[in-house]
A and B are shown apart, each in its own frame.
Chain A
Amino acid sequence: DAGITQSPRHKVTETGTPVTLRCHQTENHRYMYWYRQDPGHGLRLIHYSYGVKDTDKGEVSDGYSVSRSKTEDFLLTLESATSSQTSVYFCAISDRVKVYEQYFGPGTRLTVT
């Protein structure tokens, strides 16, 4: 998985609790992304980062926040988890020039009960 790890790999949490997912890369790529994957919706971009402390919203950013204090780490936080945020979350990285060539992590399956 191109030097990308995600933690945790599985998580079950209750509605209303905060959740933080971590993505760690060893490739020194500038761009990092968070996607969610749901049946019938494909991959939808939540947030992305184009450098340390530089982030921007994606298609489905409501209810999510991100932070990137180091090149290698990109955190996704659900401030108050809802059942609609039950999903599989993927982190991806890319070089600045080849945005179309993204490398994905193994995913985190999150269940909000």
Chain B
Amino acid sequence: QQQVKQSPQSLIVQKGGISIINCAYENTAFDYFPWYQQFPGKGPALLIAIRPDVSEKKEGRFTISFNKSAKQFSLHIMDSQPGDSATYFCAASKGYSTLTFGKGTMLLVSP
């Protein structure tokens, strides 16, 4: 049973465009929703995270939008750059328990 569903699997965006990756979850007990960024040959790294009592969080060009009633959250990358090309994972955690990851989105930003 996949508890965090992520879409799309892959995404191609032109330089300067907006990249949008969506995730949906089922377990309403989740209380933290992080996004991780992974470059080829490297381990994932935390990018940004949000709690369910906040509808939006912005850090630079990266924004998480959270819709608690729909049990959905999304990552928006504004002014996408070729250096943003990476695989992005959404995730969810519950208390002191473990993280559940989505299956990932491979983003390619074309020059």
The reply to whether B99 and A104 contact each other, CB–CB distance below 8 Å, is no
The reply to whether B43 and A104 contact each other, CB–CB distance below 8 Å, is yes
The reply to whether A101 and B44 contact each other, CB–CB distance below 8 Å, is no
B69 at the binding interface (Cβ < 8 Å) = no
**Contact residue among B34, B44, B93, B103 (Cβ-Cβ distance under 8 Å from A90):** B44
Q: Which of A42-50, A64-72, A73-81 contacts B (4 or more CB under 8 A)?
A: A42-50
The secondary structure that dominates the A interface is loop
The reply to whether A99 and B99 contact each other, CB–CB distance below 8 Å, is yes
Which residues of A have CB within 8 Å of B89?
Answer: 42-43
The reply to whether B97 and A43 contact each other, CB–CB distance below 8 Å, is no
B62 at the binding interface (Cβ < 8 Å) = no
Query: Bound state CA distance, A100 and B92, in angstroms?
Result: 7
Q: A99-B93, A100-B49 are in contact. Are A107 and B103 (CB under 8 A)?
A: no
Q: A102-B99, A104-B44 are in contact. Are A42 and B104 (CB under 8 A)?
A: yes
The reply to whether A33 and B98 contact each other, CB–CB distance below 8 Å, is yes
Give the size range of B's interface with the partner: 20 to 34
* Min CB gap B44→A, angstroms: 5
Q: A96-B96, A100-B49, A100-B91 are in contact. Are A107 and B102 (CB under 8 A)?
A: no
B42 at the binding interface (Cβ < 8 Å) = yes
Give the size range of A's interface with the partner: 20 to 34
Which residues of B have CB within 8 Å of A96?
Answer: 96
Given contacts A42-B104, A45-B99, 15 further A-B contacts (CB under 8 A): A1-B43, A33-B98, A42-B6, A42-B103, A43-B89, A44-B101, A45-B98, A58-B98, A97-B96, A99-B93, A99-B95, A100-B32, A101-B34, A101-B49, A104-B45
Q: List 20 A-B contacts (CB under 8 A).
A: A1-B43, A42-B6, A42-B89, A42-B103, A44-B101, A48-B98, A92-B43, A99-B32, A99-B95, A99-B96, A100-B46, A100-B49, A100-B99, A101-B46, A101-B49, A102-B46, A103-B46, A105-B43, A106-B42, A107-B43
Q: Which residues of A contact B (CB under 8 A)?
A: 1, 33, 40-45, 48, 50, 58, 90, 92, 96-97, 99-107
